Structures are given as structure tokens and as C-alpha cells.
Structure 1
């Protein structure tokens, strides 16, 4: 991938990530509290819905930038003109992007989610407590479950996004506008969010579990079984509506902003002497 393309992916991905995380933070808080072991009301209800926003703000730019740099690089590396192999290329690129991005996303997510269910605690205090009680590995609790959630999500979202863009572009016989790319992103994100909600519930339970508990060990199947045993199917899909709403809106803003920012940056790079 060339220099301008690398820079454009870096900046556009970061801008898109910050935009989404800050605009849709209240929906994310509500979703986390619906999924928390203590229940929605005890986790804070509708109070303090911006608790944990500093952690999201700090982590969102590098997280999104890391994803899109990897995504675009792997797409470039696996360049193929075969339409049959195109979905596989997008799946591999998205999966690689998630594995890299989660190295940044997971510590931010752990701190953010604990702040969301204890709104009275400061983000810096929660961060210090995690390091004191569990060390650096505490910040990466739930890494495996996050990757196991994000890869299936990306396997649905990104190939579907790319397919819908290509189909729409073919139907109108021209390149899509940014808002059209955003609509494709909203649809793809909403569908991916719905089918991966149980994995998101497992990830939330693991991140919020008390240190030393069986759930805190990070076993996704064990966490899913525990939710199924106590709450059944509704428990596995707790928070599905705010998750779908947040990710559909997020897909609209995130992928639309990414496409627009990247095209503007590439155009600016071509115009420079």
C-alpha cells in the first residue's frame, strides 16, 4: 500500500472511530448495563450514561486507525481480480484488522465497561484498581472473547458492506456517494450486530466478572452456558435492540465517515505538488 493510502487509512479510520464512539456512547452504556450480571437498575439504569467516556475517547482513534490500516493493507496484499475470491479477501482483511485493533480496544473496553456499571467511580481510579489488583493482564481480560466476537461480526459486516456498495454502484453505473456507502454500512452493521449479540453478552460478563471467579478466566463457552442456565435465550440476547441501533447508526457514521475522509485525503494527496 502506498504512502498516501496508508496515511489516508490511518487518519480516516481514526476520525470515523472517534465520531462513532462519542456520538453513540449513551446507547453503548445502556447496552452494557442490560448485559451486566447485577441487572440494568443496579448497574446504574439511565443515570450517568456518559460514565467511562474518557476511556472510549482515548482508545477510539488508535483502535479504529489500527483496524483500517490493517484492513486496507491486507486487501492490498491479497490483491485479486477474481470476483469469487473477493468476499474471502474482505473476510481475511477484516479478521486481521480485528486481531490487531483488539490489542488497543480491549484495555479501553475493560476500563470503559467497569466505569459504565459503577458511574460513581472515576475512570482513572478504575484503571489504577485494575493494575493494582490484576496487573497488566487484567486490562486484557476478555481479549479472546472480544476477538471471538469481532471476527464473526466482521465476517458478516465487511463482505456484506463491500457487496452492497458494489451492487449499488453497478445498478446506478457510477461510484457511490458517501451517504450511500453509509446506508450500506448501517444495514450490514445492524445484521452483524443481531447475530453476534450472544458473543457480546459473553464478552461483557467476562470483563465485568469479579477477579478470581470462574467467569473471569475468560472461557466464552462457560460464560454463555452460565447466562443460558440462569436467563435462557432472553439473557443471551440481552441488549440486542440498543446494540443493533448503536451499530446500525455506528455503521452509517463510521463507514460513511471513513469512505468520505479517505477519499478527501487521497484527493488532497494527489493535488499536492
Structure 2
């Protein structure tokens, strides 16, 4: 990938990430509290719905940038001799690689953010310091595996669907899709992916919020899913599905639309500059 494309992906990804994380933060807080083991009301209800936002604000730009740099690079790397029927597979591989890299930044931010969301009386830096003191760096990466196991299936659904919807829309109107059309495709793709991966999101939330040293904190996703199923059944596995779908549908609209718009603008400016 050439330097202008690299820079455009980095900046556009960061702008898209910050936009969606800050705009939709209240919905994310409600979703986290619905999935919390102590229940929605004890986790804070509708109070302090911006608790943990400093962690999201700090982590969102580098997280999204890392994802899209990797995503675009792997797409470019695999593009040689590409066949149309293999394109969804290449999008899946690119998205999976992007998630593995981005989670190195996302998980510490997510751990601190979710702890703050369910204990709104504690400050973000206080929670961060407490995790480091009690559990060290490993505590900040608790739930890394469960997050990757959530994000990869999510991306395997979202990104090929997004690319396919854009290609179909482009074919129907006989020209490239506009940024708003890309955003609409992103909303559909994100909402559907959010619905089918909610149980994995529930497991990730439980692992991140569990007390240090508990069996849940060990990070066994299947064990956590089985425990949720045993106690709460299907409703427990899909706790928070509607705010998650709403947040990610809106997020897909903002995130992928902002990414396409910003990247196109930056590439255009790069071509015009001497």
C-alpha cells in the first residue's frame, strides 16, 4: 500500500472511531449494564451513563486506526489475481487480521471503560490504577481472547456483508456508491452482525467484570456461556441485544460512512497536492 493510502487509512480510521465511540457511548453503557452479573439497576441503571468515557476517548483513535491500516493493507496484499468469488474470503481474512491487531489497543481501554460503566462513582484513572496495582498488565488484558473471539466472528459477518452490499448497490446504479450509501450498507451489516454475536459479547463482558481470581475471570468463554445459559437461559445469552444492535447499526452508519468519506477526501487531496 502506498504512503498516501497508508496515511489516509490511519487518519480516516481514527476519525471514524472517535466519532462513533463518543456519539454512541450512552447506548454502550446501557448495554454493558444489562449484561452485568449484578443486573441493570445495581450496575447504575440510567445514572452516570457517560462514566468511563475518558478511556473510550483515549483508546478509540489508535484502536480504529490500527484496525483499518491492517484491514486495507491485507486487502491490498491479497488483491493480486483476485477472483470475484474469493473476494468475501479476502475481506474476512483482512477483517480478522485487523481485529487481532486492534484488540491489542482496544482491550485495555475496554476493561477500564466497562469497570467504570458499572461503578459510576469511581473515576477512570482510579479504576486504571487499581487494575494495575491488583493484577498488573495482565489485568488490563483480561478478556483479550474473549474479545478476539467476539470481534473475529463479528467482522467475518460485517465486513464481507458491507463490501457485498456496496458492490451490489454500485452495480445497480452503474457507478461507485456515495459515502451516505456506504453508511447505509454499514448500518445493515453492523446490525445483523451485532445480533448474531451478542452471546459472545455477553461472555466478554462477564469476563472483564468478574472479580480477580474467580473462575469467570480465567477467561473460558464456553464455560461462561454455559453458566449464563444454565442460570438465565436464552434471555441471558442475548442480554442487551437491542441496545447493542441499535448502537452498532448507528455505529456502522457513522463509522463506515465517516471512514469512506474521510479516506476518499484525503486521497483526493493527496492527488491534487504537488
Q: Which TM-score band (shorter chain)?
A: over 0.9
CA deviation map 1:151-170 (0-9, x unaligned): 00000000000000000000
- Corresponding residue for residue 89 of structure 1: 90
CA deviation map 1:60-105 (0-9, x unaligned): 0000000000000000000143101100000000000000000000
- Corresponding residue for residue 185 of structure 1: 186
Are 1:76 and 2:76 counterparts? yes
- Corresponding residue for residue 14 of structure 2: 14
Extract unaligned runs of 5+ from structure 1. none
Are 1:230 and 2:207 counterparts? no
- Offset, 1:23: 0.1
- Offset, 1:226: 0.9
After superposition, residues 36-115 of structure 1 pair within 5 angstroms as: 36-79=36-79, 80-115=81-116
CA–CA separation in structure 1 for the residues paired with 2:240 and 2:82: 40
- Offset, 1:251: 0.1
CA–CA separation in structure 2 for the residues paired with 1:198 and 1:269: 43
CA RMSD, aligned part only? 0.4
Q: Tell me how many residue pairs correspond in the alignment.
A: 273
CA–CA separation in structure 1 for the residues paired with 2:98 and 2:213: 31
- What TM-score, normalized by structure 2, do the two folds share? 0.99
CA–CA separation in structure 1 for the residues paired with 2:261 and 2:82: 24
CA–CA separation in structure 1 for the residues paired with 2:178 and 2:92: 24
State the 4+ residue runs in structure 1 displaced beyond 2 angstroms: none
CA–CA separation in structure 1 for the residues paired with 2:160 and 2:249: 16
CA deviation map 1:161-197 (0-9, x unaligned): 0000000000000111110000000000000000000
CA deviation map 1:126-149 (0-9, x unaligned): 000000000000000000000000
Are 1:217 and 2:228 counterparts? no
What secondary structure does 2:84 align onto? coil
Are 1:155 and 2:153 counterparts? no
- Offset, 1:201: 0.0
Are 1:204 and 2:196 counterparts? no
- Offset, 1:225: 0.7
What secondary structure does 1:84 align onto? helix
CA–CA separation in structure 1 for the residues paired with 2:104 and 2:222: 22
